[in-house]
Homo-oligomer: A and B are copies of this chain.
Amino acid sequence: MMGLIFDMDGVLYRGSEPVEGAGELIRLLRGRRIPFIFLTNNSTKDPSMYREKLLSMGIDVSEERIVTSGLATRIYMEKHFEPGKILVIGGDGLLREMERLGWGVVGVEEARNGEWKDVKYVVVGLDPELTYEKLKYATLAIRNGARFIGTNPDTTYPAEDGLHPGAGAITAALKASTDVEPLIIGKPNEPAYEVAREKLDGVDEIWMVGDRLDTDIAFAKRFGMKAIMVLTGVNSLEDVERSGIRPDLVLPSVKELTGYIKAKLEEEG
């Protein structure tokens, strides 16, 4: 059976505008019981926040189908690491996921009281409330032996007025101040694949639908997925030509993907 992984921003919507045909595609998949999940490198929101956002654009999916890099970080840590206190640099979504681990989160107040010495994990995503003090305690904790984990490698975050610094810019600062290489969870890395693979249990062919060559398409190619690129997001056809990363299929948008999937289903009977 086939299954799909969708990136969200630039694929199903742009900012707060749905891409035409996104709702219909999702209804088709649900109707035909084709397994699919949404997988985003964003860690500032959690799945319940994304469910609401998608609903407001007419796309109705359960939380279980939504995997943020924050959720993937929680699942990966739960499976591979021993419990230990966490210092979080990130938005509300990441903070919630880390609190759900139940291992204890060390805030700036506690860090000030010397609790950075007890920190076992420093987990870093895009943090709109980043301060020097947070970088300071993260640096002290990592230099003290805490494991350094980044939710995703994106160095920028596309916003209305241009590109803002992403999680990858904040991890770059800490890499410089600690000389330690972080474990990065999100696309195109292995931890994100491991978490997505488990969500798509029983599927033997995965189609990865995304707009970014360096994350989505590189991720698909690295792990043997069918790489489907849509042109409603960050990268263009010219980028494909310039890049060494080759999608298996390029479509104007997810609208055309609906027809493509219908044709495939009819073929198979």
Within 8 A of B (CB), among A173-192: 173-177, 179
Whether the pair B176, A168 counts as a contact (CB closer than 8 A) is yes
Whether the pair B176, A161 counts as a contact (CB closer than 8 A) is no
Contact (A140, B164) CB under 8 Å given A127-B132, A156-B177, A177-B155: yes
Task: Count identical subunits in the complex.
Answer: 2
Q: Is A26 an interface residue (CB 8 A)?
A: no
Q: How many residues of A contact B (CB 8 A)?
A: 30
With both beta carbons as reference points, the residue of chain B lying nearest to A116 in the complex is identified as B161
Whether the pair B163, A143 counts as a contact (CB closer than 8 A) is yes
Q: Which of B130, B164, B172, B173 meets A139, CB within 8 Å?
A: B164
Whether the pair B161, A140 counts as a contact (CB closer than 8 A) is yes
Q: For residue A165, which residues in chain B have a CB less than 8 angstroms away from its CB?
A: 132, 135-136, 139, 173-174, 176-177
Within 8 A of B (CB), among A152-209: 155-156, 161-166, 168-170, 172-177, 179
Q: Is A131 an interface residue (CB 8 A)?
A: yes
Q: Which of B130, B140, B161, B174 meets A135, CB within 8 Å?
A: B130
Q: Which of B140, B161, B169, B177 meets A177, CB within 8 Å?
A: B169
A35–B105 CA distance with the chains assembled, in angstroms: 55
Contact (A169, B173) CB under 8 Å given A127-B132, A128-B132, A131-B130: yes
A169–B155 CA distance with the chains assembled, in angstroms: 15
Q: Is A129 an interface residue (CB 8 A)?
A: yes
Q: Is A144 an interface residue (CB 8 A)?
A: yes
- Give A193 Cβ to nearest chain B Cβ, in Å: 23
Q: For residue A140, which residues in chain B have a CB less than 8 angstroms away from its CB?
A: 161-164
Seen from chain A, the residues whose Cβ lies within 8 Å of a Cβ on chain B are 127-132, 135-136, 139-140, 143-144, 155-156, 161-166, 168-170, 172-177, 179
Query: Would you list 7 pairs from A and B whose C-beta atoms are within 8 A, ordered by A residue?
Result: A129-B131, A136-B165, A168-B176, A168-B177, A169-B176, A172-B172, A173-B173
| Closest 4 pairs between A and B when the two form their complex, measured CB to CB | A172-B176, A130-B132, A173-B173, A169-B177
